[in-house]
A = this chain, B = another copy of it.
Amino acid sequence: MAEPRISSIDGKLAEEFAAPSHVEEVKDKMAAFAEHHAAAGRRVVLITSGGTKVPLESRTVRFLDNFSSGRRGACSAEYFMDSGYAVIFLHRHRSLYPYTRMFSTINMLDALQFRGEDGASGEVVVNQQVLPNIVKALKRYHEVKDGRLLLPIEFNTLSEYLHLLKAAAQALSTIGSKAMFYLAAAVSDFYIPASEMPEHKIQSSNGPLQLSMNMVPKILSPLVKDWAPQAFVISFKLETDAAILLDKARRALDTYRHQAVVANVLDSRRGYVVVVTPETQSELILTEEDVKNEVEIEERIVSNLTSAHEKFITQQVG
């Protein structure tokens, strides 16, 4: 397979994807965050999370999207912080968020009640039968906030994602191998270039819709080679067809020359993943016992990768 030409990807990014206006400001913030934590002896992980929105019209009513609640990214962020990392959380607007993800399946008003019999106190308290883990989550949330361990950055569209990821890679390049990229977001493979996009809502009275979408440039290539060449980089591969999964994971490693691929199948992604590196292939599996004990597979993934990152750093130094 021919290697993608880096310069052309970078050029395409500038030409066909509108950069968000705050990208330089965010980049400075990420660089300061990374330097601060690296100076304090912490490693820093950039987590991407959630799906990307691909507009079909420039005043957008319709868009293409990727299935992703952002659960894996949000959940992994918590385990990385538990392992001593500082986390830049580059996530889709309204996707799941560390610690607050526990509220995602309930109606918050069902978890609140007036304090005292008649509510005369005017105080509203959490019903801990509905939210049994709230005390633990709130404490940990405060610790993370006090320690400034989490820097949240939002994206919505594919364009925003691509530009912010580039900015993050450049911001983290200063801390070299202490940086990990954990690219869990579900990024669209297809887009409509701004120059080919209609301004207004596509009219259904014009008949059936023919869409022709270009391929999104493979940003992993300049990220690994150009923007953050010393970093420890993990990509994710999600397929619905288990038969092609590992082959695709190996091919990605051959093409981009990064450190690992976390490979998973849509239906079993919460209980089974394979961490593929150039030399190894580790199956991580939750047993029935694990599920009963509410173990999350992200704890295993993060444990596997933080060990590998540790080794990687030692080898770079040595």
Contacts and interface: CB of A to CB of B under 8 A. Distances in A.
Nearest to A111: B108
A211 B208 contact: no
A190 B212 contact: no
Contacts of A239: 200-201
Interface stretch (A124-132, A172-180, A304-312): A124-132
Contacts of A138: 109, 112-114, 124
Interface of A: 53, 56-57, 59-67, 97, 99-100, 103, 107-109, 112-115, 119, 122-126, 128, 134-135, 137-139, 141, 186, 188-190, 199-202, 204, 207-216, 238-241, 266-267
Contacts of A238: 61, 201
Given A59-B267, A208-B212, 20 more contacts: A57-B240, A59-B266, A62-B64, A62-B67, A63-B67, A97-B107, A100-B107, A112-B126, A112-B134, A114-B135, A119-B139, A122-B135, A124-B126, A124-B138, A189-B202, A189-B204, A200-B240, A201-B239, A204-B216, A210-B211
A5 to B, nearest CB: 18
A214 B207 CA distance: 8
A64 B63 contact: yes
A65 B63 contact: yes
A215 B208 contact: yes
Given A67-B63, A124-B126, A135-B124, A190 B213 contact: no
Question: Residue among A56, A107, A188 with the most chain B CB within 10 A?
Answer: A107
A97 to B, nearest CB: 7
Contacts of A214: 208
B122 A109 contact: no
Nearest to A126: B124
Copies assembled: 2
Nearest to A107: B100
Contacts of A53: 65
Given A107-B100, A209-B213, A62 B57 contact: no
Given A61-B240, A62-B65, A108-B108, A125 B134 contact: no
Contacts of A67: 60-63
A167 to B, nearest CB: 23
Contacts of A190: 204, 208-209
A287 B186 CA distance: 42
Nearest to A186: B61
Contacts of A62: 64-67, 188
